[in-house]
Amino acid sequence: MTANAGVAKAELLRSPLPTPTWGQQRGSAFTVRAVTSINATSSTVLGALLDTSKYPTWNRFVPRVTFSDVSDTDAQGSQQKTQLAEGLTFTEHVDMFGNGKPSGLVKMKLLMTALEKSESNSVEKTDYKVVWLGKGYPDWALRSERVHSIISNSDGTTTYNVFETFSGPLALLLRLFLGPTLVKRFKQWNEELGNHAERGS
């Protein structure tokens, strides 16, 4: 699946994509995927993804992120943690239905399990992969894993490809009741991230 600059394409895949932790899933498993081309460097796109302090300014799908291992301020009143990093557990406050009301946000607990970097000197490009593992439900009930691929292109643009695979007994209900909504929200996430990165974060 490819996308034009600034316009994301999103889809629901009944044949799920494998993920780093869970591998190839079967049964009721499915994947939601979105991809867009962004007129910014891969490092800029990565920075926009990891800097949750700016989420309220551009991210209508996840307007807020909190961290499980820190309070809003420490004893000296320092600013709260805002950067996602490998090994951190965090909570997305998700506006699943786009109503824009704080009271309607749903909390999704996640663990960032990987931040991988690959470089190619031949084309002077840097690619990144970020992985978030769902921790909000017991693994026997619902398994979810989100993989962000940030790929440099030779023309200076970046391809941002994100997918999340869901499996387990609750995945069927999730697909039936929220599948189309997830596709819309992943498309929205990609386009808003792209616009934010193109403004220079």
Residue 70: predicted pLDDT: 56
Long-range contacts at 15-19 (CB < 8 A, ≥ 24 apart): 16/165, 16/166, 16/167, 17/147, 17/163, 17/165, 18/165, 19/131, 19/145, 19/147, 19/165
Let me know: does 116 contact 128? Beta carbons within 8 Å: yes
Question: Coil, strand or helix: which one is 169?
Answer: helix
Q: Find the mean pLDDT for residues 55-79.
A: 75
Give the residue ranges of DSSP H helices in the chain.
Answer: 42-50, 55-58, 169-198
Query: pLDDT digit string (tens) for 19-39?
Result: 999 999 989 999 999 999 999
Question: Coil, strand or helix: which one is 159?
Answer: strand
Question: Coil, strand or helix: which one is 185?
Answer: helix
Instruction: Provide the token pair at 196.
Output: 């934010």
Q: What phi and psi, each to the nearest 5 degrees, are found at residue 120?
A: -130, 110
Query: pLDDT digit string (tens) for 6-19?
Result: 789 999 999 999 99
Residue 3: predicted pLDDT: 59
**Per-residue pLDDT band at 72 (split at 50, 70, 90):** very low
Query: pLDDT digit string (tens) for 146-166?
Result: 999 999 999 999 999 999 999
Whole-prediction pTM: 0.91
Location of structure tokens 């990144």: 128
Taking 90 as the threshold, does the pLDDT of residue 86 lie above it?
Answer: yes
Taking 60 as the threshold, does the pLDDT of residue 94 lie above it?
Answer: yes
Taking 80 as the threshold, does the pLDDT of residue 84 lie above it?
Answer: yes
Residues 118, 193, 134, 182, Cα dihedral to 10°? -130
**Per-residue pLDDT band at 125 (split at 50, 70, 90):** confident
Residue 69: predicted pLDDT: 66
Top-confidence residue, 71 or 142: 142
Taking 90 as the threshold, does the pLDDT of residue 63 lie above it?
Answer: yes
Give the residue ranges of DSSP H helices in 20-158.
Answer: 42-50, 55-58
Q: What phi and psi, each to the nearest 5 degrees, are found at residue 67?
A: -115, 140
Taking 70 as the threshold, does the pLDDT of residue 121 lie above it?
Answer: no
